[in-house]
A and B are shown apart, each in its own frame.
Chain A
């Protein structure tokens, strides 16, 4: 399969991951374009699909940090925030009916970048813990605790959110 087609298959997930990094739709779109440009210009493209996926998302991540360095924006402190501001409760006590795509998207946008990123990698991109660990260059155990804490923060935020989708009224049918 041509590289172009293979990249196209990942575009929505690339965008989702880019958005989790950049937090801005325009910048996310730029990142995907930049990533695609780099991938299409590459001389060595992994044949194996899992390796190709990891390679593609690594390109996107590198592109993001390249842009970050260019803007000389310091975001490093956010890395440590993932270990802070955790809810005190060990388990989530909210109402699962409030967990919808809309509320999750809104609350995820408010999270620190490292927490958005780990959730995007596992739940949007579909990486395994080992693949995410390789991409982020951390131990698998770190991924396990990071995704757990990030989800706990997100669940609490969703539970506390006052934005909820209205139930859709069922259409009556005549017999």
Chain B
């Protein structure tokens, strides 16, 4: 068997333009003398083109971000937002809750504060459920909607008492908060939407606890389905069934990235 003048590694490097002039000349001479090598060079060249031509990328919309994070940006955003709210004047749109809706402004402030921070590692649900006096709170697994639980805290509320905040983050800029606190009498068992510009919230009551879900920039259709699913799950205090998980997954896949 005749010894091959160049190795397959060298042929690849030749096709990729990675050889120095002397090595390239050596391979070129070998290829000129050997039709089999010439066919291999042709095959490699064709393979490279076929790989490059095989990219079948979907239309991808870049997520909107405010720009590079600066120190204190998150705090400044929260303060500005809180000043803007000016109490219950924030609550407008399709539904107006009763007076004393400072809890909604507080929830928004809490949402904006954690969501402006750096991405964090996922948190186990069990840890959140064990927080403070919220052992009975319903904190769902939202991975079906590609949302990962990355933030958890128990906050003191302005009017007294505490609230459990669970923060979820998606992979396309989406951030969702679930805030649970002792019922104040403003929310009812049915789901109530609160909307303003791109900011949406849903609230409801289950037993002695009020629930609020908040998101800024998530498509209304997707967020509505998410809130309905969490609302239904909290009433049964059970994980999502397969049908709900599928619906959430499809909703997420057909939605645009979050614009906040």
The reply to whether B122 and A70 form a contact with Cβ atoms under 8 Å apart is yes
The reply to whether B52 and A124 form a contact with Cβ atoms under 8 Å apart is yes
* B36, B51, B69 interface centre (most CB from chain A within 10 Å): B51
Q: Given the complex of chains A and B, what is the CA–CA distance between A100 and B8 in angstroms?
A: 21
Q: Please give me the residue from chain B that is nearest to A141 by CB atom.
A: B9
Task: Pick the residue among A4, A32, A36, A70 that contacts B148 (CB under 8 A).
Answer: A70
* B16, B18, B54 interface centre (most CB from chain A within 10 Å): B54
Closest chain-B Cβ to A88's Cβ sits at a distance in Å of 13
B189 at the interface (CB under 8 A from A): no
The segment from A53-61, A74-82, A148-156, A166-174 that touches chain B is A148-156
Q: Given the complex of chains A and B, what is the CA–CA distance between A155 and B45 in angstroms?
A: 11
Residues of A within 8 A of B56 (CB): 105
Closest chain-B Cβ to A119's Cβ sits at a distance in Å of 6
Task: Pick the residue among A34, A90, A122 that contacts B4 (CB under 8 A).
Answer: A90
Q: Given the complex of chains A and B, what is the CA–CA distance between A128 and B69 in angstroms?
A: 33
Q: Mark A112-131, 1 if CB is under 8 A from B, else 0.
A: 00000001101110001100
A161 at the interface (CB under 8 A from B): no
The reply to whether A108 and B54 form a contact with Cβ atoms under 8 Å apart is yes
Q: Given the complex of chains A and B, what is the CA–CA distance between A42 and B146 in angstroms?
A: 23
The reply to whether B68 and A41 form a contact with Cβ atoms under 8 Å apart is yes
Q: Given the complex of chains A and B, what is the CA–CA distance between A24 and B13 in angstroms?
A: 30
A21 at the interface (CB under 8 A from B): no
A144 at the interface (CB under 8 A from B): yes
Task: Pick the residue among A8, A42, A104 that contacts B51 (CB under 8 A).
Answer: A104
The reply to whether B18 and A129 form a contact with Cβ atoms under 8 Å apart is yes
The reply to whether A92 and B65 form a contact with Cβ atoms under 8 Å apart is no
A30-B68 contact, Cβ under 8 Å, with A15-B58, A148-B8, A152-B8: no
Residues of B within 8 A of A31 (CB): 171
Q: Given the complex of chains A and B, what is the CA–CA distance between A13 and B9 in angstroms?
A: 25
The reply to whether A128 and B52 form a contact with Cβ atoms under 8 Å apart is no
A151-B172 contact, Cβ under 8 Å, with A7-B62, A145-B9: no
Residues B22-79 near A (CB distance < 8 A): 36, 39-40, 42-44, 46-48, 50-58, 60, 62-63, 65, 67-70
B193 at the interface (CB under 8 A from A): no
Closest chain-B Cβ to A153's Cβ sits at a distance in Å of 11
Chain B interface mostly: loop
Task: Pick the residue among B40, B46, B47 that contacts A91 (CB under 8 A).
Answer: B40
Residues of B within 8 A of A147 (CB): 12, 16
Task: Pick the residue among A32, A101, A102 that contacts B60 (CB under 8 A).
Answer: A32
B102 at the interface (CB under 8 A from A): no
* A13, A15, A41, A120 interface centre (most CB from chain B within 10 Å): A41
The reply to whether A144 and B13 form a contact with Cβ atoms under 8 Å apart is yes
Q: Please give me the residue from chain A that is nearest to B249 by CB atom.
A: A26
Q: Mark A71-97, 1 if CB is under 8 A from B, else 0.
A: 000000000000000000011101010
A160 at the interface (CB under 8 A from B): no
B interface, CB within 8 angstroms of A:
4, 7-9, 11-13, 16, 18, 36, 39-40, 42-44, 46-48, 50-58, 60, 62-63, 65, 67-70, 121-122, 146, 148, 171-173, 253, 257
Not counting A36-B60, A105-B56, A148-B13, a sample of 14 additional A-B residue pairs whose C-beta atoms are within 8 angstroms of each other reads A13-B55, A15-B60, A33-B63, A34-B171, A37-B173, A40-B63, A41-B67, A90-B7, A96-B42, A100-B50, A108-B54, A119-B51, A123-B52, A129-B16
Q: Which 10 residue pairs spanning A and B have beta carbons closest together?
A: A15-B57, A123-B51, A105-B54, A12-B57, A30-B171, A101-B53, A16-B55, A33-B172, A104-B50, A148-B9
A interface, CB within 8 angstroms of B:
4, 7-8, 11-13, 15-16, 25-26, 29-34, 36-37, 40-43, 67, 70, 90-92, 94, 96, 99-105, 108, 119-120, 122-124, 128-129, 144-145, 147-148, 151-152, 154-155, 158
